[in-house]
Chain A
Amino acid sequence: MISMLNILSFVALTLAVVLITVRLFKKPNKSLIALLFAVSLLSLSEFTNILEHLNLAPETDEWEDLLEIVFLPLLILSLHIGMLEEELNKRLISESKFEAIYNNAFTFIGLLDHEGRLLDANDASAKSLESNVTFMLGQYFWETPWWTHSETEQEKLKEAIKRVQNGEVCRFQTTHLNIDGEITHIDHSLTPVYDQSGELIYIIPEGRNITQLTLVLKELEQHKTDLEKLVDEKTEELNAALTISKQLNDKLYNSNQQLEQSNLELKRQSEYLKQTLTQLQTAQHQLIESEKMASLGILTAGVAHEINNPLNFIMGGVTGIDLYASEHLSAHDEGIKQPLQSIYSGINRISKIVKSLNTYSRTDNFRTTQCNINSIIDDCLIMLQNKWKYRIEIMKQYDPEAIIEANEGRLHQALLNLLNNAVQAIKEIGEIEIITTVTETNITTEIKDNGIGIKPENMNKIFDPFFTTKEPNEGTGLGLSITQKIIADYHGTIKYSSNSPSGTIVKVVFPNFSGIKDS
């Protein structure tokens, strides 16, 4: 049993030795060599043990013990070497990483002792001088070639190192000379490193080349200055433009005001033109009416003349008959006188009508005479007799001094219109009161009727041309308009008002230029 265990142990250990040997050939290693020795010794020990149990070598106990004594230290030694190698490998890897960072950084990194002597510097620092930094090691940092170009920068560094020695982390901007002798701008920092007891052991100097950044900043500053200047210039230009714009705006505003005024003036003129056009139309209608009246005047004048001649014959004949009857037919006086009186009466009436027609038909429109308003009213009443007789009572209250300077025909036309309106306003029976009064200043004619009156809403329109409330064939709507015009031509005024309880009062007032009034 024990021999079997020894054999199995030997086999296992021999396999292990073979395996280690193969691996040792592939990759030589101190720890593997130690392990190979250890396992080989143990294997040999087992082998001697087997020989002993098989009585092939009975005196091998000492050897076996010796081998076992050496085996364990060797095994532990191999472990120890392995651990050391691993630690070393770790450190090597760590160092290579550190060196990769340290020497490939763009920044200048170094190491100073606590008094500021240079202990190491990375490749970037060396490249900035294009030389090896080995000869500088041990020098005070401010005495190295990076700082010797300027005493000021050296003093600055010394001061910074003093501050670091007092526990501060310093950062400042400085300048270095590059290999071409040009000044480069450096952002420099100094960081203290302490040991476990808190003692300063190292100072890490670190520098970053900020030349380009500085140049860009300077350029930016220049651009900023230029931009500010440009902004100032443009602001001034804008202010000037604004002032001009304001002036133009004022001018525009004034022009606009003028245009608005012109527009108002144009509107006013347009209104005036409309009014003028209306007046022209009115004048045209007046002319037409005047023309009609003139034609009517000519007609009535011709008719009056033609009637007047036979009337003279009739008058002469009747006078002759009257004389003859007085001389030869005295016995028939009673029978003849009555018809003759009737004939005389008729002839007188015809004569008055003819006279009125003559007055109305006078064509000398611009010739003025002293016109008796009362007579003209009477003539008008005669002309309108067929319209009012037997249904309207005419009451007259005349002032005998109602005389004005005017064209008799036109005045006749005006008063005829007013009296005609008064007659037409009375549909059946009624009264018309005609009053003429004279004062020192005015000559007034009032015509009052008790007809249908004028509706209040029409009161402001009655003088408008073509305004009429009569039936289509009864009036043109021009009568009062023409009348107002005629009265206004002689400086008179016309005013309508309501007559209580019904009817209308029309009041025509002419100025009394003569100022004569019989008290």
Chain B
Amino acid sequence: MSARALTVRRRQLGRGLLHLVLIVLAVFFLIPVVVMIVTALQAAGQGGGGLSIVPHSLTFDNFRAVWEETGLPRLLVNSVIVTVSSTLLVLFFSSLAAFGLVQHAFVGASVVLLVLLAGIMLPPAAIIVPLYAEIHDFGLLNNYLGLIGPYTALGLSVGILFFRNAFSAIPRDIVRAAKVDGASPWAIYVRIFLPLSLPAIATVAILQVLFSWNEFLIALLVMTKENRETAQLAYITYAGLYSASFEKQFAVLALLTIPVLLVFLVFQRQFVRGLTSGAIKG
């Protein structure tokens, strides 16, 4: 009895210690986020810094000021346009390509796949010089297509990887049965392959939303007019305007973060499942 009580006690102690360590670590991981949001909620001049992250006062004035004084609403709309477009295109094009490669493999399909997957390791900075020249020559500077095109192209490799893994796992019998019933390839793609790959769809969508919402380098070069800029450029665009106000700078940063944070929190479950299952198979 007492020996068992001892092990129970010891296990409880271990649990408590584990929670303590995890809480300390969680605080460490969240402090920068908390600092950002708490500072953005401070009245002017009170976001003092240091360890005083307990708010003195709470106000939405900074958010209101930033919203009214800057073009940020417009920038957020631009980001939504670019992000939604490139995400839909990546989902469509990469699933279609993976379907072709898995279901209708042609001579040299594996080589094509290899080339497309090689895109995963490409550092965007390494092609930025000719990419910028190309976008310039196409007359796509300050045009949404100047970002949607490269963002979609750069997202295809990861998309094809995840869709290929998901599609390869679909039982051949189902496909055969559908063919016997006279289903066209398009119907097989839309009615069988896509519905059976929802985790892959969620994962590719979230990865592409994160990439195109957060992308900075290409946007910096392509969007030079303020009314075409994406949200990530707001920080440097309005840094001068708010050089004297930490609080407003942080309100800008919080507004850039909240949309993707919400998308992630809502789809977290599917995203985690799809991301990790794709990685284990790939």
**B and A form one assembly:** no
Residues of B within 8 A of A (CB): none
